[in-house]
Each structure stands twice: as structure tokens, then as C-alpha cells.
Amino acid sequence: MSSAESSGEERVVKTVCSICYCSCGVLAHVKDGRVVRLEGDPDHPWSKGALCPKGLSGIELLYHPDRINYPMRRVGERGEGKWQRISWDEALDTISFHLSETREKYGPEAICLATGAGLYSNYGTMGYFGYLLGTPNMMTSGYICFNPSGIAAWATIGYAGALFAQEMVNEEIFDAQCILLWASNPRNTHPYPVGEGILKQKQNGTKLIVIDPRPTDYAKKADLWLPIRPSTDDALALGMIHVVINEGLYDREFVEGWAWGFDRLKVHIQAYPPGEMAGITGISEAQIVAAARLFAQAKPGCIVQRVPIDQNRNAIQTSRAIFILNALCGNLDKKGGNLLPRTGDVLTENEMKAQMEKLPRSVLEKRIGAQELPVLSGPDGASRIVHPLFWARAVMEGKPYRIRTQITSANNQILRDQNSRTVLEALKRLDFLATMDLFMTPTAELSDLVLPAVSWLERDGLRGHPGYPYLIPVQHRAVDPLYERWDDNRFFIELAHRMELDMPWKNEAEYIDFRLKGRGVTFKDLEGINVLTLPKEYERYKNGKFQFKTPSGKVELYSTVLEKFGYDPLPRPVRPPETTQEFPLLLMGGKKSLEYVHTTGRQISLLRKRNPDPTLEMSPDLAQELGVGGGDWVWVETIYFGKKERVRFKARLVDGFPRQVVAVEHGWWFPEKREPLHGGFESNVNTVIPNDVFDPISGSTHLRSIPCRVYKD
């Protein structure tokens, strides 16, 4: 506590919220050692003083009575919910014992390090720890979240993270002449001023195109709304490319100077005229043509594409088609367009993860899934992560070998991954599972050891802003970690020291300074600063400051990289699963709300009051037909590996919603239910989504158009 605080005065800490990737600026008011008020930082470049309800509930998150505050070890049967408090010393000794034993008996690859998005900080130290252990097996949620579009970028321009710039709303949109929201609803996923800014832009003359089956606020106000049939975005993008090429609307200078394979694309695209794509997408030919013309003629246009594109059986080729459309229109690295990545002086989380690639090739080839999904998991691929489908096979069947020990950080895997019941069984089969998290989730409940993690107001750090390479958010703790909560970076550093592994940093402060290397500052110098701004430059490929890292050194419209792996070098549409008489509706899983990021937040009363129940959106016409009223509980049923499975949601009737589609929120469990699984299968949409329909390149599960039926509870 500072002397000002002890005299009852307030201290203001300038930091950033890290509940989601947006990293909004926050002023945290601290009095008598407690955070008493949060407000948005008006000087922050993109949040401009606004915070969403998740950010505003940071104090409740910090002091929530259900937080995990001490290390605990299981004393009953696995999943029985009986725990005993232990010291950090004992926890570190226990974990290092199990890791060492597994490594000696079965080899380091029998250890898996798994992380979700809950803490958003640990990829670097966890990745390095994996490298030191000698295991190639690190599992993230990337296979359904940004990795597919990242792989598409890798296959097109040579950088796996590049499509982030097309996926995150950033301030470039304010200079765009046309904003294309593709499966994106920024009001629910981005800072308020940015989400509202798009609508203001529209009032000021910027054109707005929205591609979304749902009638979002943006769709209603757009110049063009294309209410697409779910999971047919590949066909729509190809139809638009057809128009752009055949009408000569593409950027000739860019294509001649920086694109590879245009002639082959031109021949290929003739198979996808907008008239035919209309039949697949449910969008009229006239609308496809109008959208292509409007977007191509805007100088520049900017695309904001989100994860529904990642979550389908043709994820890579869909993202490739959208990226190609954007490149043909000359929007890459333009002011007001979509920026190319910046590499160099700050070691990003992903670059840290690549430390794992120092492992010998013979070890990397052993990564689970390296044979089945070489681009996602193989030594020459883009992402280098383990896919949960193959993880479960390894744990349960020992194919190609058994995963026995797992360290999990903020990764509520039972809710996160499809085929949830198999995930549950697999977690139970592990010899040893340690989980670091903020709360006892259904996944944490299955652990042998649980570790207390800090929340964002207790942490220092640098955050990557994946959508915007010119800003580095800087996080300062408002208070020191409460109880015995640890920063997850501290955990991996101390665990490495305990195991006498050669971790290069003594503590998390050194790790942060390491990431600042080359910038001429240390973290101490950044007091009072919550964002570092780097000088902006555009069209860097023209002066050699940016190089496309493809074999041709250009934007590969025709991907020689995918061709080398045996995949189609040019995108083609794949038809999504069809409805049947028994399952006549299409289920869109994975809908986002303003209140929750994935599986988090259901304990927070401020958020739960706003969004108390898992909801299913449907059209009033469909509801009437099914005898369902708004607020009624309904079952959603699918055919799941030959059996029927169902989950429960509360109906919400939405005018203008497509008649044949229903959309549900993902990530629902009920922390208030005191049984160990906390209702983790009641309204968890992943219970009814099998993971056997997936993209052959990335392994992305088909989540956005599953044949289903709905009936009243």
C-alpha cells in the first residue's frame, strides 16, 4: 500500500483490461489497498474511455468469493469435489514429480501442456517450458479460433498470424471507404467506440456491407446486407472474385507487382459465376454482383472477418477466398485497409511459442496429429499445436502413444471442445492433471491439483494486439496478487527452476523486460503508460520493409505451399451438411454475447443479471410453427455419432431471423450448481456437436450449420 493510500487517498493505476483481446484502457482507482472503482481511460486510442460490462465487472472478478485462492489437491475420487489446501511448495514438488516420472518412464511427449484463452498471457512461458521439457505437445483452442484463418494467411502470404488484421476491428476502419463485416458483430466483440464508430462512419458516407445470416444492428443499417445461408461463405467469396476479375475491378498495379498465380486464378474462377453461387448461398446474383462492385470500387476497402469463418468444414479455403478478394482489391497494408503483420522488436506470444521449434525434428514429428493434420500439427506446418480430436485418441486409445500427464492453464476443455462427453472421459483417463484457473470449472474439478491464478487487475504484462501491429497494450497491476494467487508466467518459470530446467528468466518481471528488448525501455519505464505506440507505415512491401514469406515472395493467389502439402492450391466451395426430414433446421453453435467470453463470466452477478440464461435465437414464424413462445425452454437435438443428443436453451424470438436456422450461445455452464460438473452438459452446445465433420487442412470443427430439430421442453 502506498503512503497516499494509507492516508485514505485514492491512487489511479493506468492499465488495460484483458478479459478479451481488445485490451481496452482502464483507470483503476485504488484506496486503502482495494480497487474501489474502474473507469475507461479517455486517452486510450481505441477504447476512448469506454468499457464493456465485462471490463466494468473487473472488481467483482477480483474479489469474487468463489475464486481459487490457494493451491489444492484432490482428496476424494477424481471429480468428487473434495479438496485440501496445500502450499505452493508442495504443489510445485508434486507437479515436478509427476512430470519427471512421466518423462523418465514414457518420454517427454507423454506430457501435454494445454491452454485456453482465459488468462491470455502464458503462451510464451508455457511454450518455453514445453521446449525445456522436450515435449512437442501443446494444445490450444486455436483449431476453431483464428488458427484456420492464420493458416490461410500462411498459405497466402507466409505469416500465420496475418489474418488477425482482417479479423480484429482496429482504427484503420476509420479511414476505410467501405467496411465489409463478414460474419462479424463488433458491438458484441469489440470496444464500444469501435463498434459504434462503424455506424458513425456509415452516417458519414462510408459504405457498409454485412454478410451474416442474422439481422444484427449492422445488418439492418447496412448499404447491403447479404443474409447468407450458414457455411456457404466460400461460394459467396468465389462469386465476388468472379465479378472482380471478369469486370476488371481488381487493382492491376498490385496484382502485376505483388500477386502470384493470377492467370491460373482467372481460369479457375470461371467455374464460379455469381448466378450459380446464388443457388448455394441463398443470396441473389444481383446482390453478389452489387457487393463485389461496391467493395472493389472503394479505395480502400476493409474487411472484418470473425470466427464463424474459422468454424466450418472448408475453413482454410473460405478464408483464403476472402483474403484473395481483399488482396485483388488492393487493400493490403493500405491506410484504411487491412494491415500486414509487423515483426521485429517485441517478441510476440506466437514467436515465443515458436521456441518449441528448437526441438529436434525427430521430436517435432512425434507431435500428436502430425500425420493426420500436417499443416496444423506437423513440423513443417503453420500452427504447431495439437488438435483435441487426436489428443483424445492419444489419451484414450494410446494412438500413436498415450498422453499421460497434463498441465492445463485456464482451459475449460469440457465446455470448449466439441464431443464434450469424450473430453470428459479422456480427462478422467489422464494419470495426472494439474489445472491453473480463476474458478473451479467443470474441467478444473477433474484435476488432481488446482492452482490459483491472478485476474487482470493483479497482473503486470505486455499484451499483443493481434489486430493492430502498431500498438502494444501495457498492463499494470492495480493491486498485488491476493491470497496465494500467482501469475501463470510466474508458475511456469518457478516450475522450471524447481525441475532444474534452464529457464532464461528468474521471474516474470525479467520475462516482461525480455519481451521489451530492443525498444530501449524496461517495464519500470512504462509506469503510467498503458499503450506503446509504434510509428505507422503503410504499403511496406513496396520499400522492402515487409517481405511476403511465400516461396514466390508474393501474395500467392495460387498457393504453392498448400499444393506441396497435397491440398488444393485454389479455393473451391464445399457444400455444408444438408438438413433432413427428421432434422429440418440448421444449428449455429458458437454465438457470442456482450457479457461472456467463451466459457467465462457466468459467476459474475453484473453479467449474469444482464444475460441470465443460455438462449436460442429463432424466427417468430418458426416459433409459432413449433408452439414455442419467447422465454420458453426448448431442446435442441442432433444426431451425434449415430445417437440422439439434446441440450436445453431459452427461446428468444428475433424478427427477421432466417426461418430454417437457430443460433445458440456457446460456453454455458452453471457455477451456482454445486455438483462438480456444474451443469456442464445441460446447455453446452458442444455436447451435441460431434467433431467428426472438420476441415481437412486445419481440423476446424464444423460448428455453424449442424442439422437439428427443436422442440418445447
Binding site for ligand SF4 (CB under 6 A): 17, 19-20, 22-24, 47, 51-52, 54-55, 191
To ligand SF4, the closest distance from the beta carbon of 15 in angstroms equals 11
Cα dihedral 321, 327, 330, 335, rounded to 10, equals 110
To ligand SF4, the closest distance from the beta carbon of 659 in angstroms equals 33
Give residues with Cβ within 8 angstroms of 670, minimum separation 6. 602, 678, 679, 682, 683
Given the complex with ligand SF4, which of 47 and 408 has the nearer CB atom?
Answer: 47
In the complex, which residue's CB is closest to ligand SF4? 55
Q: Can the peptide bond before residue 300 be classed as cis, meaning omega within 30 degrees of 0?
A: yes
To ligand SF4, the closest distance from the beta carbon of 127 in angstroms equals 23
To ligand SF4, the closest distance from the beta carbon of 636 in angstroms equals 28
Minimal CA–CA distance to 699: which of 378, 375, 216, 468?
A: 375
To ligand SF4, the closest distance from the beta carbon of 60 in angstroms equals 13
Given the complex with ligand SF4, which of 191 and 461 has the nearer CB atom?
Answer: 191
Q: In what order do the strands lie in the sheet with 72-74?
A: 83-85, 72-74, 449-452, 432-437, 405-409, 111-115, 138-139
Minimal CA–CA distance to 639: which of 696, 590, 574, 693?
A: 693
Given the complex with ligand SF4, which of 41 and 695 has the nearer CB atom?
Answer: 41
Amino acid, res. 258: W
Given the complex with ligand SF4, which of 158 and 601 has the nearer CB atom?
Answer: 601
Cα–Cα dist 443/77, whole Å: 15
Given the complex with ligand SF4, which of 20 and 132 has the nearer CB atom?
Answer: 20
Q: Give the H or E element holding residue 61.
A: helix 58-63
Give residues with Cβ within 8 angstroms of 616, minimum separation 6. 634, 636, 649, 650, 651, 652, 662, 663, 664, 710
Minimal CA–CA distance to 173: which of 199, 154, 151?
A: 199
To ligand SF4, the closest distance from the beta carbon of 16 in angstroms equals 7
Given the complex with ligand SF4, which of 603 and 687 has the nearer CB atom?
Answer: 603
To ligand SF4, the closest distance from the beta carbon of 56 in angstroms equals 7
Q: Give the H or E element holding residue 710.
A: strand 706-712
To ligand SF4, the closest distance from the beta carbon of 191 in angstroms equals 5
Given the complex with ligand SF4, which of 20 and 179 has the nearer CB atom?
Answer: 20
The length of the chain in residues reads 713
3-state secondary structure 434-468: EEEECCCCCCHHHCCEEEEECCHHHCCEECCCCCC
Give residues with Cβ within 8 angstroms of 457, minimum separation 6. 15, 28, 35, 58, 59, 61, 62, 477, 478, 479
To ligand SF4, the closest distance from the beta carbon of 26 in angstroms equals 7
To ligand SF4, the closest distance from the beta carbon of 402 in angstroms equals 38
To ligand SF4, the closest distance from the beta carbon of 187 in angstroms equals 10
To ligand SF4, the closest distance from the beta carbon of 462 in angstroms equals 15
Rounded to a whole number of angstroms, the distance between the first and last alpha carbons of the chain is 54
Given the complex with ligand SF4, which of 120 and 131 has the nearer CB atom?
Answer: 120
To ligand SF4, the closest distance from the beta carbon of 385 in angstroms equals 24
Instruction: Count CB neighbours of 445 within 10 A.
Output: 22
Given the complex with ligand SF4, which of 24 and 324 has the nearer CB atom?
Answer: 24
The β-bridge relationship of strands 25-31 and 138-139 is: unpaired
Distances (CA, A) of 489 to 125, 485, 502, 505, 506: 6, 12, 15, 10, 11
Minimal CA–CA distance to 303: which of 288, 286, 323?
A: 323
Amino acid, res. 700: S
Cell of 610: 444482464
3-state secondary structure 25-37: EEEEEEECCEEEE
SS3 698: coil
